[in-house]
Amino acid sequence: MADITRNQDSEKFRKIEHELQERLKELECLYSISSEIEAGKDLPEIFANSTEHLLVAFQYPEVTVAGIQFDGTWYTSSNYEESAIQNHLSSNLIVEGKTRGVVKVGYTSGAPFIDFERKLIHEIGLMLSNAIEQHELELALQNQINNLEQHVSDKTAEVEKSRKRYLDLFEYAPDGIVIARKNGDILRANRTFYRMLHYPEDGSVQLNFVKDNLYENIPEVRPHVFKKLEEEGVVEGFEMTLLDREGNPVPVIGSFIYVDFDGERCIEEIYKDIRIRKEMERKLIMQNENLEQMVHERTKDLEDQTQLLVKKNEELLETTEKLEESRSNLHTLFHAITDTVVMIDTDFNILMSNKKLNGKAKCYEHIFEMKEPCENCPGRLVFKEGRPITQEKKFGDDYYLLQAYPILDSNKEVTGAIEISRKITREKNVEYQLLQTDKLASLGQLVSGVAHEINNPNTFIRGNIGIIQEAMNDIFPLLEEKAKEQPDLRIARLKFDVFKENIPILIQDMVQGANRIKGIVEGLRKFAKRDDGLLEDTVDLNAVLETCLRLVNNQIKRTASVSVDFDQRLPAFKGNCQKLEQVFVNILINASQAIDKKPGEITVTTRFDRAANEVVASIADTGHGMDEKTKKQIFDPFFTTKRNKGGTGLGVSIAYGIVKEHQGRISIDSAPGEGTTFSIHIPVSKKEA
């Protein structure tokens, strides 16, 4: 009995010893795989070695095979055959919630697996999953660090490039730009400022606004500017007067803002000559870029790398702030210029513009909407000659002032240009209007002189014709007596009866002709005489129209016949006869010029509208008519459909102003191909009605 008990105890001890040995093999396997991972080996080497460690960890190593599959690649033990496996255990390799592979152990016999072996394969799967995740995080972190270092280098180069562009724009800006202290010391100024005040453009003369007396009323102006700067932070559109080197006044519009200049709080001052620019618009555009931190701390082993990443990120933020400060200064200056300013390369590609490009890459497309550079292009001349170019050009109905300045590299080679375009159509039109006004004034003097020269001989003619008429009346009885005595009597080769019948008619025609000359001369003198513009005349509208028709009859009869229908009961009203004659002469001439198919017809009518208590004069023609677009623009100054025929676009606009001055209005009834009717409505007082 004792022997049986000892045998049972001995068997129990052997089982315990066997299980201890099996657990020891499992711990050795876990330790070996952990050592592979901690040694920092590559994943393929870890996977290959781990399959060999797995073989000895299971209870039947002679029939055990092992394999690890990761991202489609298998790493197996030397005796691995998939078809020979009869029973197996597996554990998925899960990285960041995604299955990337599997750890697989199998028996080539039907032997069963125990619970410890199932736990072992699960622990090894977790261990390898963590190793994969840690390895990939280290690779991603290293790539991010490399990218950040390159980004810092690129941003630094961009800051330097933006600084150079800012300095070029500062130096060649069309307005005077100054950076000064509050005490008036000028720390920096561009050439335009020095040129404006007649100082050397190289800045060799050190200036102070206060000491050199560069302002008019400086005790009032500068404190006022500082006060507004403190209250509002910026001063724009401040009208003031600078004094040049000789003390001559230079009227400007100034803009002021605090800036940081080499670590000192200074004032940036922009002065624009108000004689050569329109109202300045200032637009401040600031862009803020935010860099998000994409890498998060995963494990305790990556803390040192994370600190390095944070340090690099701080350096990038500091560089970005400097870039934003430089870019903000550039945008503030660039977009404050109201003219169109572009920076181009030698192929006319726009590198920078203060206006929206709308997809147009070339300067001639952006400014003038052309498909190729204009003739004698200022940009092309700058690239060829390497000096600033200024031109005036006309495109369509608009005039432009073009300025181009070269951009030089360190070798003084032209690498690009700054082009400035300003529309000067209004200035040109005003210049043309002044020229036309001067011509009209000269014409008025000429007409007055010609009228005087015609009127003097015509006065003698009219007086002498009257005497001749009376003489003929006395002579005819004597001639009749003579004709009775001499039946074949001839006078001026005419038989006496023909002479007697026609000579009085001829003399009467001469009287009417001389009177007509007198009427035309009086009309011309009245039309050309200097007028004070007061509305103090008692106006007979029918008489005004008759005078105008006499004046323009010679021009109208070439294209049209004129029919009139005047209301003889029109009331008179207070106005200016000469100005109204100007209105009707202009409309009558326009009516005759609108008739393409000859002979046309012009109808002039007058009537009294009792309901509206106004007199109405209508001038209708059978010309080509107007479309809706022309009718909307007909009263605009300088609008004309006869630009190529010398039209100024001022006649109808001036007529509109004169009628408005009489508290009246002009209505237009017109359609293409149906002619045009201008109706002038002028109110009369109830007393006059």
466 has a pLDDT exceeding 80 = no
Whether 548 contacts 585, CB under 8 Å: yes
The mean per-residue pLDDT over the stretch 173-179 comes to 87
Model confidence pLDDT, tens digit, residues 397-442? 778 888 888 888 888 888 888 888 888 777 776 666 555 555 555 5
What's the pTM value of the predicted model, to 2 decimals? 0.34
Strand partners, 105: 66, 89
Instruction: Give residue 289's pLDDT.
Output: 53
Could you tell me the two tokens for 79? 């005796």
- In angstroms, the CA 9 to CA 14 distance is 9
Compute the distance between CA of residue 174 and CA of residue 352 in angstroms, rounded to an integer. Answer: 16
Rounded distance, CA 405 to CA 386, Å?
A: 8
In whole angstroms, what is the distance from residue 406 CA to residue 402 CA?
14
pLDDT of residue 302: 72
Q: Would you place residue 276 in the very low, low, confident or very high pLDDT band (cuts 50, 70, 90)?
A: low
Question: Is the pLDDT confidence value at 564 over 90?
Answer: yes
| pLDDT per residue as tens digits for the range 26-77 | 777 877 777 878 777 788 888 888 878 777 778 878 888 888 888 888 888 7
- Biggest alpha carbon–alpha carbon distance for the chain: 209
**pLDDT per residue over 469-478, tens digit each?**
777 787 878 8
- In angstroms, the CA 216 to CA 686 distance is 57
Give the pLDDT score at 452.
61
User: Buried b / exposed e across 302-337, counting CB within 10 Å, b at 16+?
Assistant: beebbeebeebbeebeebbeebeebbbbbbbbbbbb
**Contacts (Cβ under 8 Å, ≥6 apart) of 421:** 339, 340, 341, 367, 400, 401, 402, 403
pLDDT at 684 over 50: yes
Q: In whole angstroms, give the CA distance from residue 44 to residue 367.
A: 63
Strand-strand pairing, 398-408 and 340-345: unpaired
Residue 616 pLDDT: 95
C-alpha dist (Å) from residue 143 to 133, 157, 615: 16, 22, 89
Instruction: Tell me the pLDDT tens digit for each residue of 316-356.
Output: 888 888 878 777 776 777 667 777 888 888 888 877 777 77
**Which residues 6+ apart lie within 8 Å of 332 measured at CB?**
257, 284
- Of 40, 27, 105, 120, give the one whose Cα is nearest residue 68: 105
589-609 pLDDT, tens digit per residue, is 888 888 888 788 999 999 999
pLDDT of residue 279: 43
